[in-house]
Chain A
């Protein structure tokens, strides 16, 4: 680029020739004949170099220099000094002239001076440009810093918001922490649809998308053109909600629920958009898991082979399982003690109360009554149910039906008792039998007929006792149903009387029978009922022989019947029973007869009558005698198991 040069001299020749020389050097030369003219031209030409003579009419070079420097200080002014005004030229330097040349002008010197000036100009220009560049750079950097700070602030905002939301969810007692666990991707987008910040989970699952386009994370949107929720939010200025599919870092597609909302408005335009994406598949999975878990608990609750009831502090049942409902009826809303044990007041031994009290599990074995009247032995475990604050709000009672176990245990205990009782009885009978045999043998040796006969009776009676014992044991060992064939009642009673009569006679007891021949038919088990009646009658005989207070003894055996039932009455005037004996008469292995009794006879008689659906009433007075009143229904259908 050629520099513009303003040449100022009052001599026309100099203007002409010097002008030509300068043009040859490559300058765009403009000429003026004095300072005043030069100043006029200065504004239009705007030269970077002014070459001026000092001595000129109208306005001299010094004045021109001053004026130019005042106007445009960067203009380089070179002075041309004539012969004899060297001092003046040097003085010009004080006014910031760039250089001076002397007349007559040496072209080489002028050329060198101009070159220096030109270098100076270029240097200044470069400096200026450099300064300007620097300022521009600073501006650019500052803008970038501001941008980064804004992104940082957005990121912090996202994090803070996440914390606030999870904090809020904790405050609401979301104990399971589903929200904290919930995969929620948070991102902030700017107007140019660029991601400027994301939360940690976003980065972990979807990748570091900061700086990427807003649509890149959405499956399919790069193809169909971005019309996603972020874009819509910028367009409409309103929050959006839609189902989308996002692409994970690992390439998996993720169904999400996206919520967007505008943040930061400038000049009526949305500046940033907050995007919240919730992994719906995860929620679906959790929901399914929750459903399965609840179902499992429900199944467990319903299918457990135990009675389960949940009770509050007011003794109200709040939940019960199927088995409970089956045996005790729907209990929800009802009072526990009413349903379970048919009581008006809470049970004093309630394990649930104890659990409410101390928060630990308790157990209780109790007898409860089903709605059909059956009694059950149950073992109840109680366990506390606490709310989120750890307070016990309800207690669960889990009751196991141990009726069968208890029955079995009773049976086993009975067997143990029986073994002891029977072996004791058998020992006594064996001893007595040996005695009979001894007396028989010694009687034969001595030809003592009385002793032989006596011994025979003894042995016979003992064999009878052994036989009864064996039959009773067999009866007890096998639990059997009563046969229910129609039987002639009169016939049965007469047979019983025939069995007992000789025994009574041997003991010299008056035995009277009142057995009408027309008692009709009844559904009875002949063998078992006969044995039961014989048993009671033999007891009567024993009661008479054991009674030494009276001289004469009598036993009466009476049978009667009406349309529905058959009745047998057996009375003796033997030793009678004390109250305790009376109360325990039908108890297994209870005997008042010492060695003679096994404690089976009346127990089995009672059992047989009960299995026929009948009952035995017993009245007795110690020293006075005993009366048995036995009632058996005619029809087996009325019978219930014992």
Chain B
């Protein structure tokens, strides 16, 4: 059974890009355009990994992460940060990795594979 990845990003083009890239590499994907929507998704799905943008309108990446860490259910889902900001890794201290935009496809895929396998 393929692993599921939740993609959280406000830019529809980037969501589409990540969706296609990860699907092409054998993963199932779910998308959300901000932190709030992502929480809604978690009510129905339990992803194996989350890629998380930092700056989004309304509910940001850190807001979403704090919500996750408060409960026990989702606190252990690994998070990969993908952001246009540099030097902002510390805002998601529990992230397994951080990529800055524009990222290398191989780098992302290697990190995903290392974290949840293929």
Interface residues of A (CB under 8 A from B): 423-425, 427-428, 430-436, 438-439, 442, 451, 454, 458, 461-462, 545-546, 548, 592-596
* B contacts with A, residue count (CB < 8 A): 23
Closest to A426 in B: B84
Q: Is the CB of A462 within 8 A of B20?
A: no
B7-37 vs A, Cβ < 8 Å mask (1 yes, 0 no): 0001111101110110010000000010000
Q: A424-B84, A424-B85, A431-B103 are in contact. Are A594 and B11 (CB under 8 A)?
A: yes
- Indicate which residue in B16, B101, B105 contacts A428 across the interface (CB closer than 8 Å): B101
Nearest B residue to A457, CB-CB: B13
SS of A interface (majority): helix
Contact with A along B32-50 (1 / 0, CB 8 A): 0100000000000000000
Beta-carbon contact of B57 and A435 below 8 Å: no
* Cβ-closest 8 pairs across A and B: A435-B17, A432-B13, A427-B84, A431-B101, A430-B102, A427-B101, A431-B102, A594-B10
A424-B85, A594-B10 known; A432 and B17 CB under 8 Å?
yes
The reply to whether A428 and B14 contact each other, CB–CB distance below 8 Å, is yes
Contact residue among A428, A438, A593 (Cβ-Cβ distance under 8 Å from B84): A428
> What's the Cα separation between A438 and B16 when bound, in Å?
11
Chain A residues with CB under 8 A of B18: 435
Question: Measured between alpha carbons, how far is A398 from B21 in the docked complex, in Å?
Answer: 66
Sample of 8 more A-B contacts, CB < 8 Å, known A548-B33, A594-B55: A424-B55, A428-B84, A431-B84, A432-B17, A435-B20, A593-B57, A595-B53, A596-B11
Rounded to whole angstroms, the CA-CA distance of A423 and B55 in the bound complex is 14
A594 with B20: CB separation less than 8 A = no
Contact A427 B17 (CB under 8 A): no
B100 within 8 A of A: yes
**A581 and chain B: residue at smallest CB distance:** B57
- In the complex, the answer to whether A442 meets B11 with C-beta atoms within 8 Å is no
Contact of B14 among A431, A454, A461, A546 (CB under 8 A): A431
Contacts of B101 in A (CB 8 A): 427-428, 430-431
- A435 contacts which chain B residues (CB < 8 A)? 13-14, 16-18, 20-21
Against A, the Cβ 8 Å flags (1 = close, 0 = not) of B82-118 are: 0011000000000000001111010000000000000
* A462: chain B residues within 8 A (beta carbon): 13
Closest CB in chain A relative to B16 CB, distance in Å: 6
- Do the beta carbons of A427 and B100 come within 8 Å of each other? yes
On whether the beta carbons of A451 and B17 are closer than 8 Å, the reply is no
**A451 contacts B20, C-beta separation under 8 Å:** yes
* Contact partners of A461 in chain B: CB under 8 A: 13
In-complex Cβ contact of A595 among B21, B84, B103 (8 A):
B84
Among residues of B, the one whose C-beta sits closest to the C-beta of A425 is B84
Question: How many whole Å from A435's CB to the nearest CB in chain B?
Answer: 2
Could you tell me the distance between the alpha carbons of A433 and B103 in the complex, rounded to whole angstroms? 12
CB distance from B8 to the nearest CB of A (A): 12
| Alpha-carbon separation in the docked complex, A545 to B17 (Å) | 18
| Chain B, Cβ-Cβ closest to A424 | B84
* Interchain CB contact under 8 A, A438 and B105: yes
Q: Which of B17, B24, B55, B56 makes the CB contact (< 8 A) with A431?
A: B17
Q: How far is the CA of A433 from the CA of B14 in the complex (A)?
A: 8
Q: How far is the CA of A541 from the CA of B69 in the complex (A)?
A: 36
| C-alpha gap A147/B96 in the complex (Å) | 119
**Distance (Å) between the CB of B73 and the closest chain A CB?**
26
- Chain B residues positioned under 8 Å from A438 (CB to CB): 17, 20-21, 105
Which of A425, A435, A454, A592 neighbours the largest number of chain B CB atoms within 10 Å of its CB?
Answer: A435
Q: With A and B bound together, what is the CA distance between A458 and B16 in angstroms?
A: 10
Looking at A423, A427, A430, A436, which has the most chain B CB atoms within 10 Å of its CB?
A427
Is the pair B84, A436 in contact by a Cβ cutoff of 8 Å? no
What residues on B are CB-neighbors of A454 within 8 Å?
16
Q: Closest B residue to A420 by CB, please name it.
A: B85
Question: Shortest Cβ distance from A562 into chain B, in angstroms?
Answer: 39
A44 CB to nearest B CB, Å = 150
Are A594 and B14 also in contact (CB < 8 A) when A430-B101, A438-B105 are? no
The digit string for B47-86, where 1 denotes a CB below 8 A from any CB of A, is 0000001011100000000000000000000000000110
> Which of A430, A431, A451, A592 is in CB contact (< 8 Å) with B57?
A592
Chain B residues in 8 Å Cβ range of A436: 13, 17
